[in-house]
């Protein structure tokens, strides 16, 4: 073997002639560097592409939720307009029958008679209601424990919310607009956030690793309020999510858009 080179000998299993290839160390090390660089580039590409796929999936889900919210918004708007018309007709009947009609009721009758029911006010009202409905998923993951309030609170099966399994550090987002009622830490819920959405609706996000909001802060739908974790009385990283309406727990799945 010549200095600075080495040989690669290929011995076939059949009777064909043995082949010998001489490769310089410089060429060999150059090939190793190229292969290593290619592997690094491939790892970076796969990592970046994976994040891009995740963001694309989240974008598709958000667009779907926006479409469903828009449809629900139109339905609520129609309901509110019909309610206003029915109320106006009822007040007109009461007036014709000589029943008591307040000043506010008279203004409603006059507006209806002139065909100028305030659609902007109705639109603002139902838009505010929509923003307060906790229909946005705080995280996307597998539901490991569902809603169950059939027994007493001391019953091990009692569970006034849902548990959503996610990786630690996953952004936890507000299910609806509102203000932070409480944000703190205890032995049961770990790092938790309570949000008051108005209209008697509140939501809880528990077992977080880190909080991003403080008491009294105003938050919007989809805003990141914490990062998921495994704090408090918890056996694995997940988000415990509750919806409370008029001080009574309700199944979050009745609100969350699919």
Where residue 64 falls among pLDDT bands split at 50, 70, 90?
A: confident
Where residue 220 falls among pLDDT bands split at 50, 70, 90?
A: very high
Q: Does the pLDDT at position 3 exceed 80?
A: no
The three-class DSSP label of residue 175 is: coil
CATH 1.20.1250.20 fits 142-254, yes or no: no
Q: Does the pLDDT at position 49 exceed 50?
A: yes
The per-residue pLDDT for 115 is: 47
Where residue 161 falls among pLDDT bands split at 50, 70, 90?
A: very high
C-alpha 38/C-alpha 30 separation (Å) is 12
C-alpha 104/C-alpha 107 separation (Å) is 5
Q: Does the pLDDT at position 121 exceed 60?
A: no
Q: Say if pTM beats, i.e. exceeds, 0.75.
A: no
Q: What value does the mean pLDDT take over residues 149-155?
A: 83
Question: What one-character DSSP code corresponds to residue 252?
Answer: G
Q: Does the pLDDT at position 129 exceed 60?
A: yes
The per-residue pLDDT for 226 is: 97
Q: Does the pLDDT at position 11 exceed 60?
A: yes
The per-residue pLDDT for 214 is: 96
Question: What one-character DSSP code corresponds to residue 100?
Answer: -
The three-class DSSP label of residue 245 is: strand
User: Counting runs of H as helices and runs of E as strands, what totals does the chain give?
Assistant: 3, 12
Q: Does the pLDDT at position 108 exceed 60?
A: no
C-alpha 129/C-alpha 136 separation (Å) is 14
Q: What value does the mean pLDDT take over residues 204-222?
A: 96
Does 82 or 117 have the greater pLDDT score?
Answer: 82
CA angle 19, 24, 29 (to 5 degrees): 115
C-alpha 120/C-alpha 201 separation (Å) is 24
Residues facing 240 on adjacent strands: 163, 206
The three-class DSSP label of residue 123 is: helix
Q: What are phi and psi of 7, to 5 degrees?
A: -110, 145
Distances (CA, A) of 191 to 9, 82, 215, 253: 64, 44, 13, 23
Reduced 3-state DSSP string for the chain:
CCCCEEEEEECCCCCCCCEEEEEEHHHHHHHHHHHHHHHHHHHHHHHHHHHHHHHHHHHHHHHHHHHHHHHHHHHHHHHHHHHHHHHHHHHHHHHHCCCCCCHHHHHHHHHHHCCCCCHHHHHHHHHHHHHHCCCCCCCCCEEEECCECCCCCCCCCCECCEEEECCCCCEEECCCCEEEEEEEEECCCEEEEEEEEECCEEEEEEEEEEECCCCCCEECCCCEEEEEECCCCCCCCEEEEEEEECCEEECHHHCCCC
The per-residue pLDDT for 32 is: 81
Mean pLDDT of the chain: 80
């Amino acid at each position: 073997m010549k200095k600075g080179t080495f040989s690669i000998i290929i011995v076939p299993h059949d009777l064909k002639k043995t082949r010998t290839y001489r490769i310089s160390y410089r060429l060999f090390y150059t090939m190793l560097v190229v292969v290593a660089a290619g592997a690094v580039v491939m790892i970076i590409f796969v990592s970046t592409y994976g994040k891009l796929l995740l963001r694309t999936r989240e974008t598709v889900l958000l667009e779907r939720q926006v479409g469903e919210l828009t449809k629900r918004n139109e339905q609520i708007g129609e309901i509110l307009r019909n309610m206003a018309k029915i109320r106006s007709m009822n007040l007109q009947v009461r007036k014709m029958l000589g029943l008591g009609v307040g000043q506010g009721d008279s203004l409603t009758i006059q507006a209806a008679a002139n065909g100028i029911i305030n659609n902007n006010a109705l639109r603002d009202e139902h838009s505010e209601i929509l923003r307060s409905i906790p229909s946005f998923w705080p995280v996307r993951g597998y539901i490991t424990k569902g809603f169950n309030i059939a027994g007493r609170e001391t019953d091990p099966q009692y569970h006034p919310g849902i548990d959503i399994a996610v990786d630690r550090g996953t952004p936890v987002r507000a299910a609806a607009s509102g203000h932070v009622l409480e944000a703190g830490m205890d032995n049961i819920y770990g790092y938790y956030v309570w949000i008051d959405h108005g209209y008697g609706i509140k939501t809880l996000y528990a077992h977080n690793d880190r909080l991003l909001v403080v008491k009294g802060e105003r938050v919007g739908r989809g805003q990141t309020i914490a990062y998921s974790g495994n704090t408090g009385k918890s056996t694995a990283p997940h988000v415990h999510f509750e919806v409370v309406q008029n001080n009574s727990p309700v199944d979050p799945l009745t609100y969350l858009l699919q």
